[in-house]
Structure 1
Amino acid sequence: MRLLIVNGNSTQAVTQRVVDTARQAASAQTHIEGMTVRFGANLVRSRPEEVLAAHAVLDVLAEAQGSYDAAILAISLDSGLFAARQLFPVPILGMTEASFAVAGLISERFGLITLGSETTPLYRDLLRRYGAETRLAGWEVLELRGTDFLGSASSKDSKEAIIGKVRKLATETDSGVVVLCCAVHAGIASRIREQVPLPVIDGIAAAVMTAEMLARADLAPKYSIPLPGLEVMGVSSALQEVLHAQR
């Protein structure tokens, strides 16, 4: 199986981090490649940046079409996910949607940890879109410190902060599992497993295993037929070809 990981943030180092995490979670038969969007924000934190990220993600998927059997969007806002499912005839997974789905297999109620209070409205949108609001037992936010978000997320202080948030959710809510959001936190859940009282879901790992299952079962979304007379201008030639393709 060929699995493409698309980083919807423009930071190459995050792409490498999520690819490393994906390879640890994948079966031996799965070949994983990572791609970074060509334009957009280095860390998406607002609705305008998310719109750009969705376009950039579709651009990468179009450019690489035919080289993958399934794809994962390595951006915790799942930017462009539903649009991608309308355009590409393979399983497309969002890391946060996959996390919520796996959380539901473990417990009726889950806790959520996100990065940056400015992203809270965007995650509220996701919870509504996925029908997960009633299952949310508690929500903790890790605040960004400075501009080196990659280094900050990898630091000992960040790891300890995440452990503290998980313990708080365990003692102050009825969470049975915790979803740790943000692609920059990929790989941390496995490293803190023995130090926290609740299972913590890594979105990349959850998406990889879900993508493998869908690909093996030959389950892909039914993608749409373009509207008659549809004309799109100013996008990449690869994306224009996908948008105009007769299906």
Structure 2
Amino acid sequence: MKILLLNPNTSADVTDLLLAVGQQVAAPGTTLVPVTASRGVPYIATRAEAQIGGAIALEMLAEHHDHVDAAIIAAFGDPGLLGARELFDIPVVGMAEAAMLSACMLGRRFAIVTFARALGPWYHECVAMHGLEHRCAGIRMLDGTFGSISSVQEEKEALLVELANRAVEEDEADVVILAGAPLAGLAAKVRDRIPVPVVDQIAAAVKQAEALVALKPRKAIAGTFRRPEPKPTLGMEGPLADRIEHRTRLPNGAIHSEVMA
């Protein structure tokens, strides 16, 4: 089983962290294929950046989907997730959705704890996008700046644990999610300092991707996630344009129309 680990941010250090944590929980025979965005921002923190990151995620999926069994969009907030499920035939897992659904199996209400206040509005909208507002006890965010995105979890560990405990005590959260790709792996480090289950976002995503591959779901040909009809593109090139226009480029360079097949 090959699972694409797609980081729509440009921080290769964060991709390395996600890969290391994901490999710790991956089943024997599962290979994680890491890919980092070649353009964009170091980490997605706003609605505008999420729109940009979502488009980049679709481009990355278009390039790699034929070579893997499933994909993980490894940015909490799930940029591009719903569009990816329309366009592509493989299971596509969002890191935020995977963490939240796992949390729902461990308690009635979960809290999201993250490292920057700018992330709050986007994360609130992500919760709503997945229809989980009534299961979310709240979102807690740190104030202030941090030195480096690749070391933010070490720099802010004590404060994040404090926020998590406040979510349990004041918001009555049954489960805590430490959210944001740079916090991958932190749950295992601090689990004994928080009195409720703590979900690691990338671990949840890897296990859910494995489960979906094992279930062998068919691609929808009806309903709202069926693949859209072919449409001409203007000013777009490469695999994403091919996917939208329903065409395949053969090894000899010839273009094969999927519609006519």
| Common fold: TM-score over 0.5 | yes
After superposition, the C-alpha distances for 1:22-60 in whole angstroms (9 at most, x for unaligned) are 101111110111001121111111222111101111111
* Corresponding residue of 2:192: 194
Rg larger in structure: 2
Contact 2:112 2:178 in 1 (8 A): yes
After superposition, the C-alpha distances for 1:138-196 in whole angstroms (9 at most, x for unaligned) are 321023524522223233xx111121112112222221101111000001101111222
Q: Percent identity?
A: 29
Alignment of 1:235 onto 2:236: yes
- Matched position secondary structure for 2:33: strand
Q: Which amino acid aligns with 2:23?
A: R
1:108-127 alignment to 2 at 5 Å? 108-127=108-127
- Matched position secondary structure for 1:96: helix
RMSD: 1.6
Contact 1:214 1:220 in 2 (8 A): no
Q: Which amino acid aligns with 1:79?
A: P
Cα distance between partner residues in 2 of 1:162 and 1:117: 12
* Corresponding residue of 1:14: 14
* Corresponding residue of 2:183: 185
- Matched position secondary structure for 2:35: strand
- TM normalised by structure 1 equals 0.93
Specify whether residues 118 and 221 from structure 1 end up closer, same or farther in structure 2 by C-alpha distance, changes over 3 A only: farther
Q: Which amino acid aligns with 1:207?
A: A
* Corresponding residue of 2:27: 27
Superposed displacement of residue 234, structure 1: 2.8
* Corresponding residue of 2:163: 165
User: How many aligned positions are there?
Assistant: 244
* Higher relative contact order (Cα pairs below 8 Å, separated by 6+ residues): 1
Cα distance between partner residues in 1 of 2:215 and 2:228: 27
- Matched position secondary structure for 2:65: coil
Flag structure 2 segments of 5+ consecutive residues without an equivalent. Answer: 247-257
Superposed displacement of residue 208, structure 1: 0.5
The farther-off stretch of 80-89 and 160-169 is 160-169
Flag structure 1 segments of 5+ consecutive residues without an equivalent. Answer: none
Superposed displacement of residue 220, structure 1: 5.1
The farther-off stretch of 178-187 and 111-120 is 111-120
* Corresponding residue of 1:213: 211
- Matched position secondary structure for 1:53: helix
- Matched position secondary structure for 2:111: strand
